[in-house]
Amino acid sequence: MNKLAEKHIVVGITAGIAAYKSIEFIRLLRKAGACVRVVLTESAQAFVTPLTLQAISGNAVATSLLDPQAELAMGHIELAKWADVVVIAPATADVLARLATGQADDLLTTLCLATRAPLLLAPAMNQQMFAHAAVKANLATLKARGAHTVGPNAGEQACGDVGLGRMAEPSEIFDAVTALLHRENDLAGLVVSVTAGPTQEAIDPVRYISNHSSGKMGFAIAQAFAERGAQVNLIAGPVVLATPANVTRIDVLSAQEMHRHAMALAKQSAVFVGCAAVADYKMAQVAEHKLKKTDAQDTLTLTLVKNPDIIASVAALTAQRPFVVGFAAETQNVADYAQRKLARKNLDMICANDVSRKEIGFGQEQNALSVFWPGGQADLPQASKLTLARALVDLIITHRNKTQSAVNPKE
């Protein structure tokens, strides 16, 4: 089936010499049956004209946030909602900087803030500019927030330089949009449950035992599944993160509460991912009133008892057992301890997380994982948690499919 037929694509064009190549890109989209609306920045009009783009896209071209006529036809918020994908080709260093800082000073940047559609960027600029730390940082920020990129390519540039900075070819951008839309819904109908964040185990009415998990890794996994159309339940410990689009969130505090929701949801799920940093122990008895400091006591002993092991309980289900993926946060013997947990908890896959490294793991924007499954292993090198989550979803789906076809060879 043609993935682009009837799809709504907003093409943003910014001021680069590669703007002329976007005409061919739009022609390919139209030929594939997509509905295209072009947003042209003011300075991009020095490179391509609204009239040409109107003729090629079949729709009026939007150029200004403050154009009452254009707003009457389709207001910028309406355009943001209309889009299935927003593509910016070429994406200059300037627009990357403005998107990274969340500016909304023209139609294109405003639309990007207002849309829930995935954003595909085709950067194009001088090779020296592309190598600049500021551009790299802006791109990393945008990717960490979920933006996709295609290119740039290496080669001879309009300015005479040779290097990385040429916009990807129209056919490559077209393929990237097609792949994005394919991935958009290839997991439709798959029910996934993910645990994320820490748990809080009450000591008394004002104190608790917890850990440094921010929930970022688990939320990124939920987002990565939801981006591909899966129906995602996110069982979240106490964290201050926005819920990813199209994700059902269940907020919990304690491991016991997380266990209750996880067991109910796991039986309805095809995949269960335990990314939460669950407290292994809780108070044997939560004090009814605030514990008081006394002059007589220099030490205080708390008696703790084991919490239920959520992921082991899910993996022990005999009926309606999902594909079970665990995490292992370790500070030493990372691979060895993770593989032991894979076996001991009867998991299908485990992601070993070296939390002794300060730049990854708890609370950080980036992470790196070594993923193990019975008889196999893959390393996912350091990247934003969302980039890693997307790669992890690929691995989970591949291995779940293999497991299923081994059980049901005809499928």
Nearer Cβ to ligand PMT (120/196): 196
Nearer Cβ to ligand PMT (109/370): 370
Nearer Cβ to ligand PMT (76/341): 341
Instruction: Write down the least CB distance from residue 192 to ligand PMT, Å.
Output: 15
- Cα dihedral value 54, 60, 61, 63, nearest 10: 140
Q: Are 339 and 348 in contact (CB under 8 A)?
A: no
Q: Are 67 and 73 in contact (CB under 8 A)?
A: no
Answer yes or no whether residue 281 interacts with ligand PMT by CB under 6 A: no
The residue within the footprint of ligand PMT, chosen from 4, 275, 334, 393 (CB under 6 A), is 275
Instruction: Write down the least CB distance from residue 271 to ligand PMT, Å.
Output: 13
Q: How far is CA 280 from CA 209, 213, 306, 310, 407, in A?
A: 10, 14, 6, 10, 34
> Choosing from 112, 159, 275, 351, which is the catalytic residue?
159
Nearer Cβ to ligand PMT (141/213): 213
DSSP 411: -
| Phi then psi dihedrals of residue 185, to 5 deg | -130, 10
Instruction: Write down the least CB distance from residue 28 to ligand PMT, Å.
Output: 39
Answer yes or no whether residue 261 interacts with ligand PMT by CB under 6 A: no
DSSP 232: E
Instruction: Write down the least CB distance from residue 353 to ligand PMT, Å.
Output: 4
Helix ranges restricted to H, 58-100: 68-73, 76-82, 93-100
Answer yes or no whether residue 393 interacts with ligand PMT by CB under 6 A: no
Q: Are strands 8-13 and 35-40 parallel, antiparallel or unpaired?
A: parallel
Nearer Cβ to ligand PMT (215/322): 215
Instruction: Write down the least CB distance from residue 297 to ligand PMT, Å.
Output: 30
Nearer Cβ to ligand PMT (92/213): 213
Q: Is 35 a catalytic residue?
A: no
Q: Are strands 201-204 and 207-209 parallel, antiparallel or unpaired?
A: antiparallel
Site map (CB under 6 A) of ligand PMT, residues 184-213, x = contact: -----------x-x---------------x
Nearer Cβ to ligand PMT (149/364): 364
Report DSSP letters for 361-393, one per residue. Answer: STT-SEEEEEEEETTEEEEEEEEEHHHHHHHHH
Answer yes or no whether residue 355 interacts with ligand PMT by CB under 6 A: yes
| Phi then psi dihedrals of residue 285, to 5 deg | -145, 115
Q: How many CB atoms lie within 10 A of CB 73?
A: 13
CA-based nearest residue to 85, from 227, 231, 248, 232: 227
Q: How far is CA 45 from CA 1, 107, 165, 166, 294, in A?
A: 36, 14, 21, 20, 75
Instruction: Write down the least CB distance from residue 215 to ligand PMT, Å.
Output: 5
Answer yes or no whether residue 371 interacts with ligand PMT by CB under 6 A: no
The residue within the footprint of ligand PMT, chosen from 217, 221, 234, 252 (CB under 6 A), is 217
Within 120-159, the residues that bind ligand PMT by CB under 6 A are: none
The residue within the footprint of ligand PMT, chosen from 42, 67, 156, 280 (CB under 6 A), is 280
Q: How far is CA 324 from CA 77, 81, 397, in A?
A: 40, 35, 12
Within 292-311, the residues that bind ligand PMT by CB under 6 A are: 307, 309-311
Answer yes or no whether residue 362 interacts with ligand PMT by CB under 6 A: yes
Answer yes or no whether residue 234 interacts with ligand PMT by CB under 6 A: no
Number of residues that bind ligand PMT (CB under 6 A): 29
Nearer Cβ to ligand PMT (124/277): 277
Instruction: Write down the least CB distance from residue 121 to ligand PMT, Å.
Output: 25
DSSP 140: H
The residue within the footprint of ligand PMT, chosen from 36, 328, 342, 397 (CB under 6 A), is 328
d(CA 273, CA 286): 29
Instruction: Write down the least CB distance from residue 341 to ligand PMT, Å.
Output: 6
Q: Are 59 and 36 in contact (CB under 8 A)?
A: yes
What amino acid positions are annotated as catalytic residues? 159
* Binding footprint of ligand PMT on the chain (CB under 6 A): 195, 197, 213-218, 255, 274-278, 280, 307, 309-311, 326-329, 341, 353, 355, 361-363
